[in-house]
Chain A
Amino acid sequence: MADLSVKIKDLHFKNPVLTASGTCGFGQEIADFVDLSKLGGVVMKGTTLKHREGNDYPRMAETPSGMLNAVGLQNKGVDNFIKNIYPTIKDVDSNFIVNVNGSTIEDYIALAEQINELDKIPAIELNISCPNVKEGGMAFGVSCASAEAVVKAVRAVYTKPMIVKLSPNVTDIAEIAKAVEGEGADSVSLVNTFLGMAINPETRRPVLSTITGGLSGPAIKPIALRMVWQVAQAVKVPVVGMGGIMNAADAIEFMLAGATAIEVGTAIFIDPTIPLQIVDGINDYLERHNFSSVRDIIGSLQM
């Protein structure tokens, strides 16, 4: 068995495989299929200060090798999280990471302050890249100035590792990554979904209630991989890579491109056991190539 452990700042992950926000609920929803304690981490569904109903149905459109979603951060709010969800996860031996969202900087601050108090939440993923909400969300992640402002504000109140989740809907993602690193991000994760659209030609109407939505799945993998590679070269902090990872080979590509850890998202809808299959597959790969640690392959792309 190779050493699969990785670190983000001082936070230890038993392996580099996490489940992506919005694709695994709060963990318990996939507990029938996977032993959560075997995962490197679980990034839970996007949480906001207040309850959000999310967007109207229809919220989903299948696309070639992927899907569009327009969920719009439906969640019951942080109070419900602390009261009803936190108790169910706090004794599971894995890193449960809260995906933090807001419409305003004040929202982000208030939420981060509350999460900071929770002993068993070792890190947050600051989402400045949700394409499916009218206010806030992606708007914060598409310019250096607004990304810096929100990261700086949250850094002032949040003391544990802070991973900032970047939007791919920008001209130069490496610039944004450098900007948030400069304001104290301990890590960056990428990518969130690409803004996309689907039309039903028979009805001549958009398929999604919101007209546009976020594209995920294997369809985005080559672009996500390119972005992870560019960002890994631009920043010193660890990079968490994601976008269309379906198997261990995909995960290893992201790590070779410079990702310290990876997240599995849409693949879970196809088969919720895929994240654990990837853990095993990475181990097999390391043994086959005589690496004693997964850390040896991070950013080891041969040119």
Chain B
Amino acid sequence: MKKTVQELLLVENEQLNHDNFRLVLQSENELPPIFPGQFVNVEIKKATEIFLRRPFSILDVDPEKRQFSLLVKILGRGSKVLTTYQAGDKISVIYPLGNGFTMPKADEKVLLIGGGSGVAPMLYISKVCGLNLDQVHVLLGARSQNDHVDVSAYQSFGKFYFTTEDGSLGEKGFVTNHSIYKSELSTFDKIYTCGPNPMMKAVAKDAVAAGVFCEVSLENTMACGFGVCLCCVEKTTTGHKCVCTDGPVFNIKDLTWQI
């Protein structure tokens, strides 16, 4: 799909919790097809000290309105300034970037595991993977109840499970401590995950042990986002690959993680 640099209109900026915001952007033109796992690279002009763009995954797409949304979690300066943009502001975006997840077959059962800044692509898969509610299981982890975002808009697409480290929502512990994860992992046909690297590595390790197909979406730091700087590389069984163009989604069997 052809990539473009476009000035998009911010039509909505909704604060979801203390550090998560949902930004809805609208194009003047018809949107290109955008798949779960793909991302955009956003210019944060409001703060001149932020030089490079920042990558964010697609949370959702509404082709009719020519809109798509992002789920922005505040990490440092750039993400913080981005969340101060208001409806009516213009934001320059390069998109669509990267390759999406391998979509499941009609009879498959999938487990989507998200944490931290990796929740967006999991929600988007749940919506567009075309499976029935009982085939889609979404497991989201966070430190505490107020670190989770409201996912009620997605609960008709799958069964949701939560973990918190303090036990304030769902089961206590990490995603890998959850009962469904511990007892049913090998019953899934595909596992998809995005979030902090330690979480993805723990999931990858268990998926390998259970012999289940597993794709992860990596968040290596990027300078360009479209394959020219070679800064975002990840080691794979066939050498360094660019996370921005060869990924961000990788099958764990292609990575050289020591798991």
Residues of A within 8 A of B227 (CB): 25, 29
Contact with B along A258-285 (1 / 0, CB 8 A): 0000000010111111000000000000
User: Is A223's CB within 8 Å of the partner chain B?
Assistant: no
Q: Is A184 an interface residue (CB 8 A)?
A: no
Q: How close is B188's CB to chain A, nearest CB, in angstroms?
A: 30
Whether the Cβ atoms of A23 and B229 lie closer than 8 Å is: yes
A88 within 8 A of partner (CB): no
Q: Does A64 contact B (CB under 8 A)?
A: yes
* Bound-complex Cα distance A25 to B223 (A): 13
| Most A CB within 10 A of own CB, among B52, B231, B239 | B231
Which A residues lie within 8 Å of B209 (CB)? none
Minimum CB distance partner of B227 in chain A: A29
B239 A53 Cβ-Cβ under 8 A: yes
Q: Is B177's CB within 8 Å of the partner chain A?
A: no
Which residues of A sit under 8 angstroms from B43, Cβ to Cβ? Answer: 270-271
Cα A32 to Cα B227 with chains together (Å): 12
* A196 contacts the other chain (CB 8 A): no
Cβ contact within 8 Å between B231 and A59: yes
How many angstroms between the C-alpha atoms of A32 and B1 in the bound complex?
Answer: 9
Could you say which residues of chain B place their CB within 8 Å of the CB of A269? Answer: 52-53, 223-225, 228-229
Q: A59-B233, A65-B51, A270-B51 are in contact. Are A74 and B226 (CB under 8 A)?
A: no
A57 touches B228 (CB 8 A): no
Given A71-B230, A271-B92, A272-B226, the answer on whether A64 and B51 have CB atoms closer than 8 Å is: yes
CB-based contact B223/A271 at 8 Å: no
CB atoms of B53 and A53 under 8 A apart: no
A59 pairs with B5, CB closer than 8 A: no
- Mask of B231-248 contacts with A, CB within 8 angstroms, 1/0: 111110001100001000
The chain B residue with its CB closest to the CB of A73 is B230
B231, A30: Cβ atoms closer than 8 Å: no
- Give which listed residue, A32, A33, A71, A273, contacts B229 with CB less than 8 A: A71
Closest chain-A Cβ to B223's Cβ sits at a distance in Å of 5
A53's contact among B3, B4, B221, B240, by CB below 8 Å, is which? B240
Q: How far is the CB of B246 from chain A (nearest CB, A)?
A: 12
Q: Which of A212-227 contact B (CB under 8 A)?
A: 217-218
Residue B49 lies at the interface, judged by CB distance under 8 Å to chain A: yes
Q: Chain A residues near B224: list those with CB within 8 A.
A: 23, 268-269, 272
Contact status B52-A270, CB under 8 Å: yes
Cβ of A69 within 8 Å of any chain B Cβ, yes or no, is yes
CA–CA, A30 and B239, complex, Å: 23
- Complex CA distance for A33 and B225, rounded to whole angstroms: 13
Chain A residue nearest in CB terms to B224:
A269
Scan residues 178-234 of chain B and give those whose CB is less than 8 A from a CB of chain A: 220-234
Structural contact, A67 and B223, CB atoms closer than 8 A: yes
In the complex, which residues of chain A have a beta carbon less than 8 angstroms from the beta carbon of B50? 62
Q: Determine if A54 is an interface residue (Cβ-Cβ < 8 Å).
A: yes
Q: Tell me the smallest distance from the CB of B94 to a CB of chain A, in Å.
A: 8
A58 touches B (CB below 8 Å): yes
A272 with B5: CB separation less than 8 A:
yes
Residue numbers in B under 8 Å from A218 (CB-CB): 51
* Per-position 1/0 for A39-70, Cβ under 8 A of B: 00000010000000110111110111111010
Q: A33-B3, A64-B49 are in contact. Are A268 and B233 (CB under 8 A)?
A: no
User: Is there contact, CB below 8 Å, between B4 and A33?
Assistant: yes
The residue of chain B having its C-beta at the shortest distance from the C-beta of A62 within the complex is B52
Q: How far is the CA of A215 from the CA of B222 in the complex (A)?
A: 16
Tell me the bound Cα distance from A66 to B50 in angstroms.
9
Pick from B51, B221, B240: contact of A74, CB under 8 Å: B240
For B51, give its contact among A59, A62, A69 (CB under 8 Å).
A62
B residues in contact with A60, CB < 8 Å: 221-223, 229, 231-232
Cβ of A299 < 8 Å from any Cβ of B? no
Asked if A271 and B51 make an inter-chain contact with CB atoms under 8 angstroms apart, the answer reads no
List 15 A-B pairs, Cβ < 8 Å. A23-B229, A30-B228, A32-B2, A57-B235, A58-B220, A60-B221, A62-B51, A64-B49, A67-B52, A268-B224, A269-B225, A271-B94, A272-B94, A272-B226, A273-B5
A residues with CB within 8 A of B: 22-25, 29-30, 32-33, 45, 53-54, 56-60, 62-67, 69, 71, 74, 217-218, 266, 268-273
Given contacts A23-B229, A271-B92, 20 further A-B pairs with CB under 8 A are: A22-B229, A25-B227, A33-B3, A53-B239, A53-B240, A57-B220, A57-B232, A57-B233, A57-B234, A58-B221, A60-B231, A62-B51, A67-B52, A71-B230, A74-B233, A268-B224, A269-B53, A269-B223, A270-B53, A271-B94
